[in-house]
Amino acid sequence: MLNRIAGSFARSIVAVSAILLLTTVTALAHEYASGPLKVVHPWSPSTTPGATVGAGYMKVVNLSPAPIRLLGASSPAAARVEFHSMSMDGGVMRMRPLPEGLVVPANGQVQLKPGGMHMMLIGLNRPLTEEELVPLTLIFQGGLRMDVELYVENMGAAVNAHEH
């Protein structure tokens, strides 16, 4: 009898965890598609109150046989959005703005990630809060615009790693 109760209790825990897992995976693995372009899991680390700068990361996939340039981006949460590269320079990580944006190779992809190429949300008008979705418009060559949302994750380590 006790065994039976314990068994059904365990089963309901499994069911609840499965639902939670599904919800989390859906929120984290969001992606957007437009024509030959796919933007996979755009996200931002949460920021502390008063922070004026945030970061943004994502994977951009180009399914077309021609390279496509990502010219820039904008967000209502920031005065402007810049693309930066990051490289080692005499043992020091340095960021460089990419004023021309970046090229997504033909049938290829570009990964923006902590410690690598990234977006910077400059002049934040509010903190980025864990689990919120921040609108971001990506502007590609040829005038193609893509609206995505940055999913804000609690990633203190990523924010610290990004400071320069």
Q: Which residues bind Cu ion (CB under 5 A)?
A: 84, 95, 120
Least CB distance to Cu ion at residue 18 (A) = 38
Least CB distance to Cu ion at residue 60 (A) = 17
Least CB distance to Cu ion at residue 64 (A) = 28
Least CB distance to Cu ion at residue 50 (A) = 19
Nearer to Cu ion, 57 or 140 (CB): 57
For residue 125, the one-letter residue type is N
Cβ neighbourhood burial of 110 (10 Å; 0-12, 13-18, 19+): middle
Task: Give every CB contact of residue 116 below 8 A, 6+ residues apart in sequence.
Answer: 85, 86
Task: Give every CB contact of residue 142 below 8 A, 6+ residues apart in sequence.
Answer: 68
Is the distance from CB of 136 to CB of 150 less than 8 angstroms?
Answer: yes
- Pairing mode of beta strands 145-153, 37-45: parallel
Nearer to Cu ion, 57 or 84 (CB): 84
Least CB distance to Cu ion at residue 16 (A) = 40
How far is Cα 48 from Cα 54, in angstroms, rounded to an integer?
10
Q: Nearest-CB residue to Cu ion?
A: 84
Q: What are phi and psi of 22, to 5 degrees?
A: -60, -45
Nearer to Cu ion, 36 or 127 (CB): 127
Nearer to Cu ion, 63 or 98 (CB): 98
Nearer to Cu ion, 40 or 95 (CB): 95
Residue 60 bridge partners (DSSP) = 39, 110
